[in-house]
Each structure stands twice: as structure tokens, then as C-alpha cells.
Chains A and B, each alone.
Chain A
Amino acid sequence: MIQLRGITKIYATGKVTTPALLGVDLDMARGDFAAIMGPSGSGKSTVMHIMGLLDRPTDGSYLLEGQEVTGLSDDGLAALRNQRMGFVFQSFHLLPTATALKNVLLPFVYSPRYPADAEERGRRALTAVGLEHRLHHRPGELSGGECQRVAVARALVTDPEVIFADEPTGNLDRRSTYEVMAILQRLNRDEGKTVVLVTHDNHVGEMCRRVVRLVYGRIESDTVAPQPLDAIALLAALPPREEDRR
């Protein structure tokens, strides 16, 4: 589905140029569940931003479903992001003044047509992340884990082929981490969504079927785990929460 060839990215700030990616070849197949890992400065976020069409490579080729996208206009990239991709960020990036449902419906503001059943789809997406009882809460009234699940629902609502998640569990405690990972694993397993996430947490990496490691802008290893950890099982093994015990 995604085919990167010889991708380089060089940041130029004034006269200083900082190379971030030095020729990356990487394929993502439909249905992959991949973690991109590496020390900070390895270029793992950059490679995901390029795959998610949030950033352009300095050089190289990117085929999305066989279509070269490096030459597309900004508007063309925006349309692809809108219709074929979903995004989850480390710090959620929800609109603080909008309800959970409004936040989830955000991608439809920019879709070519506003679907007649948009609200229904928003409810379904929030139900899929277990937040059907939080439709009209604002981010300030939700826990961090709940906020990130709203963000996952927002990534889901357009029914994209691939979900990109940049450190999705970076700001979460262990329980919320398992909850978010359980949702991503279920989307991958039951709905065949391709999931690409960036993390520096090895434990999160163990929940992914494939782990790509970057060092200094190059791919160091690309391994497949036959038996990734099941987030639901991990969640079940946690001691019960205070409020659950009562």
C-alpha cells in the first residue's frame, strides 16, 4: 500500500542543514500493524510525517496505492489526508471548546461533501472507543486516556485505510496505554485497518506485529513478531481500579 524509496529529508534552518532521513526504503502492506522506533533524533517521527503526507521529503519516491504522491499539490495532499488517513497525536490536539462529538466530526468539515449521516458516524466512532457516554463532554472534562480515545475516534470517523499515530501513548498511564492499544489492535484485527505508530516505549513495541528501528536517519532493523502482546489480556491482568472495586 505504501512504498517509500530513497526518501531523504534535510531540514535547512538558515545556513545550517540538518539531515533527518538519509535514504529510507520502507513498505507498508495493507493490514500491517507497525511500530517505528528509535532514539530521539533518529528520524522516526519524520518518516511517519512523510508517510502521513504532513511533510514532504527532500528527495525520493513515495507511492501510495501505486500513485506517486511526492509531486502532488498541497490541496491534493490535503484531500488524501482527509479521505484515506487518520491521525492520532501524542498530546491529543482536541479542540478545547468543542464537545467530544464535535471533535470527532472535525474531518467532515473539510470533506468534499458533508455526509448526511455524519452525526450517526460520529456516535458510532465514539462507541467503538468505548465513549458512548461522553458524547457531549468537553476535553477538559475528560481524563487523558479518554481524550486520546476521542482522538482515535476522530481518526476513525472517515473510515480511512490507514491510521498514523505519533507517540499515541506518550502522555498516558499504563491502563490508558493498554486501552488505546487494545482499540488499535481491534481495529487492525477486525476491520483490517493499517496502523503505523511511532513510539519510544519498548512495551508498546511488543504489542505491534512489526517493528521498524531507525538510527541516524537509516533503517537499522525491520522485524516481525509472530506473537505480539495482546493489550486486552494485559488490561485484564492489571489490578482492578479503585472505583471498579467499589
Chain B
Amino acid sequence: MPALGGRLGRLTATAWEGVASRRMRSGLAALGLMVGVAAVVLMVAIGQGTRNQVLDQVTALGSDLVTVWAAKSAPTGARTTTSKDKVSLSPADAQALGRMQGVRHAVPGINRGQRVSAQGVTTDTTLVVAPPEIFAVEGHLPAEGQFYGEREERQAQRVVVVGPSLRQRLAGDASLVGQTIEIKKQHFLVVAELAPKGLDPNGNDLDDRLYLPLRTGLSRLLGGRRHVDYITVQGDGSYALDQLQEEIRALLRQRHRLTEPDQRDDFNIHTQLETIQTQEESSRLFSSLITGVAGISLLVAGIGIMAVMLIGVRERTPEIGVRRAVGARRRDILIHFLLEALILGLGGGLAGAALGLGLAGLVRRFSDLSYALPWSAAGVALLVSLTIAVVFGLWPARRAASLTPVEAVRDA
């Protein structure tokens, strides 16, 4: 072994003995780092999990969808509508959009909160009034039965498709397919049940829904209404989403005779892209918040290490004196105490990384979040804790090294 390496090895062993023989104090000094690192690792994991969850939900809703919402209320006094109803979108608009280049489906729809009952149970749910294309556009599959189709739509038949959450509330684990559901004193035949989809990014239960054909809804439940709340447009992939959005806007403005540039749209266009962007915005905010909190907690941990080491240097002044007396150079003392700090940083960082990864594993197991264990975040946090330990150990170590042998020995 070369002379320097041999000496460094001896100093490392000495530093290790210094840390290991003061278990309580070393443990307390490293505790702050451990908690800080564990928190960072866990937060990164949960942040990743939340982001994955949102992306999954967006994908479940269909990420290639553009939704046009009606934005103009009926003039007051108009019959057959309530003040809540928007009148700017019609099924004819949907047909026109459906014929546009680059569009696969354009599906008009109305969503209503509605009281329904079956088998003696009454509950509130979201009624989705829409033609059969809605199932393809929203990516639904039947769990049981068959969705209503063009014939049921054309004939305005009294048929419905039930979501699993709603069925659970109405009939428990039993099937409702083939039974009837009562809405406004009319009976509707349940022809199918949806496969479960879970929550959307806003926390709405996509399974707590009841679908029925558009014409059925308009004529039998909504008093002959002629307008719809929204049109969901699915592109065929030949346009980018934002481009498709502009094409839709132009067509609708033309159809609604909004020819002057200063006339405002009487509709709003919304894409899933915006949902993703909003989500990424908030997860970026979350990340910088984590970074800030982690930075502060690691800073506090570093100050803790510095305080513990300063006390240690004061208490161990005679020890430092003896080491100098038997031949330690200033830099031997400096390296010795820096190594002690490094060992504390390594210990705290490793323990924190292990704790953080362990907690992340537990959270993953007992929640519905899914993410890969954040090994790289653990590695980075470990490096940061080493750096912090050395930076904050530097001052105490320099102070130890600055003692002259005689003042160190005399202090006893």
C-alpha cells in the first residue's frame, strides 16, 4: 500500500472508531439527514405515482378527444327550456363536424343529474344522453350484455346502459341486465353494463353513470329539447389536436354565423391535452415544493451535524492535543474530522434512502398508486446528504485542525 493510502486508511479506521464509539450522539446527528432523505425519496415516489395515475385516467378517457361545450344560455322567457340549458349546440352541428375531414366521430350529448330507481332502491346518478357512438369514442366495453345501437337510437327505444358503481348501489352484486330502471315514472330496459373505468382526473366516478340514446332522452325525458350540452369529437389522427381544435372552431363559427372577429365564440373547446398540461403544471409545482422542503430539511440536518461536531471538537480538545503530540499533522486532524462527517452523512443518507424506499414500497402496496421505486432519487438524495455532511463538517474540522498541540493539551 502506498504511504498516503495507508495513512488515509488508518485515518478512516480512526474516524470510524470515533463515530462508532459515540453511538447516541452519532445517531442523533445522522437522524436529521435520515429523515430528510427518506422524505425526499417518499415524496418523489408519491409524486410519480400521482402523475402516473392522472396519465392513466386521461388515457382511459381518450387522449385524442376534443370536447365542445355550449356556452350560450337560452333567452329568458323561452319555453321548453330552463335557464340552465345552453342552446348554442345542436345535433346538426355534430353531424356537420362528423363530416369534417380528419374527424372520425362527433358525438352530441347531454349530462344530467338524475334520480333513478330499481328494485325498490332510489338514488341519484349522472344520466348521459348520447347516441351509440359515445361508447366507441369514450372507449367503453360492455362487461355484460350489448350496448344499444343505431336501431335503438333511431326508434328512440327505452333502453339504458348502466355503470358498475350505479348497479352496485341499486342491486348490489346482482346483475341488472334484463331488468328495468325507472326514471321519471317511465321504465327503461337495461341492455348492458359497462366495464369499470374508475375516477377521472377531477375525481368523478366514471362508473356512476347511466347511458341512454339521444333521441330517447330528448323526446321522453327532456321535453322535446333540441339542443345538446356538448359534442365530443374524435380525430382520425390526420390532424394534431390543437389543429383539429382550430378547424372545429372555424366550422362552428361559420355555422353559428359569427362572422365578425369581435364576436365571441358561443362555445368552449376543451382537449384532454389541456388536462394533461394542467396536471403537469401542478406536478411541476409539487416537485419544486418538494425540492424546497427537502432543501430546508437537509439544511437543518446539516446544521445539526455541524452543532454536534462543534460540541464534539470542544469536548475532544485533549484528544486532539494528544493526537497532535504523537505526530498528527494539521491535515491529519482535518481529514479525520471530515471523514467522521462523511461517515455520518453516509450513514444517515443510506438509512434514509432505505427507509424512503421501504416506505415507498409500503405505500405502493397499500394504495392504488403505481410507480417504480425511485432508486435514482434515492441515489441523488444520498449524494446530497454526503455533500451536506462534508460542507457542514468542514468548519468544525477546520476548527479542530487549527488547535495547536499545546493549547489542546493544556485545555484538559
Q: B-contacting residues of A (Cβ < 8 Å)? A: 49, 52, 54-55, 74-75, 78-79, 81-83, 87, 89-91, 93, 95, 97-98, 102, 106-114, 154, 166
Contacts and interface: CB of A to CB of B under 8 A. Distances in A.
How many chain B residues sit at the interface, stated as a range, is 20 to 34
B11 interface: yes
Contacts of A81: 324-327, 405
Given A89-B409, A110-B329, A113-B6, A78 B14 contact: no
A129 to B, nearest CB: 17
B328 interface: yes
Contact of A109 (B14, B318, B319): B14
23 contacts: A49-B406, A54-B405, A75-B329, A78-B327, A78-B328, A82-B326, A82-B327, A83-B327, A87-B325, A89-B322, A91-B318, A93-B318, A93-B319, A95-B319, A98-B17, A107-B326, A109-B10, A109-B14, A109-B323, A110-B328, A112-B3, A112-B7, A114-B10
Contacts of B14: 109
Nearest to B336: A109
B144 interface: no
B326 A110 contact: yes
Given A54-B325, A79-B329, 20 more contacts: A54-B324, A55-B404, A55-B406, A74-B329, A75-B329, A82-B326, A87-B322, A93-B319, A93-B321, A93-B412, A106-B326, A109-B11, A109-B323, A109-B328, A110-B10, A110-B327, A110-B329, A113-B3, A114-B10, A154-B326
Interface in B2-47: 3, 6-7, 10-11, 14, 17, 21-22
B140 interface: no
A78 B318 contact: no
A110 B409 contact: no
- Pairs A-B, 9 closest by C-beta atoms: A82-B327, A97-B21, A110-B327, A107-B326, A55-B406, A93-B322, A54-B405, A54-B406, A78-B329
A114 B6 contact: yes
B138 interface: no
Contacts of A102: 17
A111 B406 contact: no
Interface of B: 3, 6-7, 10-11, 14, 17, 21-22, 318-319, 321-330, 332, 404-406, 409, 412
Main DSSP-derived SS at the B contact region: helix
Contacts of A154: 326
Nearest to A111: B327
A87 B326 contact: yes
A72 B72 CA distance: 93
A78 B324 contact: yes
A110 B332 contact: yes
B409 A54 contact: yes
Given A89-B412, A97-B21, A97-B22, A110 B322 contact: no
A54 B327 CA distance: 10
A81 B325 CA distance: 6
A81 B328 CA distance: 9
Contacts of A89: 322, 409, 412
Nearest to A88: B325
Contacts of B6: 113-114
A55 B323 CA distance: 15
A156 to B, nearest CB: 12
Contacts of A91: 318, 412
Contacts of B3: 112-113
A91 B412 CA distance: 7
Nearest to A102: B17
Give the residue among A49, A78, A90, A107 with the most B Cβ atoms within 10 A.
Answer: A78
A89 B406 CA distance: 11
Contacts of A83: 327
